[in-house]
């Protein structure tokens, strides 16, 4: 298992972690990589990036903020820094993704990018990569 660390910079942010995950995978041997996030206000999503996918990451950020509205009547807000919407947004993404390996590398699609989804940043976040 490899532990990766990232610093997010915004409250809601899809951060491309593909290169770091691929480096972690290259250190291990097996046929499937598990990418896992040990946090409850952040998630993992595979989505598009690159020249032909401009705007996709901001659109996913904006859509999750819009879907889970901060003005709803929340219970988890009895202290100043509570963030119930961040937990729900994270619950709508994934805590883990399992990616098959081909020739020792993640068999991602052409535009597929591994994103850490921050919903309560900026923060330091960990991601665990385990190859089986």
What residues line the site for its own copies (CB under 8 A)?
A: 1, 30-32, 34, 36, 38-41, 45-48, 53-56, 58-60, 62-64, 66-68, 72-78, 82, 84, 87-88, 90-102, 107-109, 111-112, 126, 128-130, 132
Closer Cβ to its own copies, 26 or 46, answer by number? 46
What 3-state DSSP class applies to 64?
A: helix
What is the closest distance, in whole angstroms, from the C-beta atom of residue 9 to its own copies in the complex? 18
Non-local (6+) Cβ contacts of 41 within 8 A are 83, 86, 87, 89, 90, 118, 119, 120
**CB 81 to its own copies: min, Å:** 10
Nearest C-alpha neighbor of 45 from the set 103, 105, 102, 91: 91
Output the smallest distance, CB 1 to its own copies, in A: 5
Nearer to its own copies, 11 or 49 (CB): 49
Contact 122, 7 (CB under 8 A): yes
């Amino acid at each position: 298992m490899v532990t990766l660390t990232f610093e997010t910079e915004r409250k809601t942010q899809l951060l491309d972690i593909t290169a770091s995950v691929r480096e972690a995978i290259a250190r291990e041997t097996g046929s499937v990589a598990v990418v896992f996030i040990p946090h409850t206000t952040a998630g993992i999503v595979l989505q598009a990036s690159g020249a032909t996918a401009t705007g996709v990451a901001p659109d996913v950020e904006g859509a999750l903020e819009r879907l889970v509205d901060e003005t709803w009547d929340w219970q988890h807000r009895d202290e100043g820094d509570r963030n119930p919407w961040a937990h729900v947004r994270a619950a709508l993404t994934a805590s883990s993704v399992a990616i098959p390996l081909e020739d020792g590398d993640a068999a991602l699609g052409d535009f597929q990018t591994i994103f850490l989804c921050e919903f309560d940043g900026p923060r330091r976040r960990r991601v665990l990569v385990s190859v089986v």
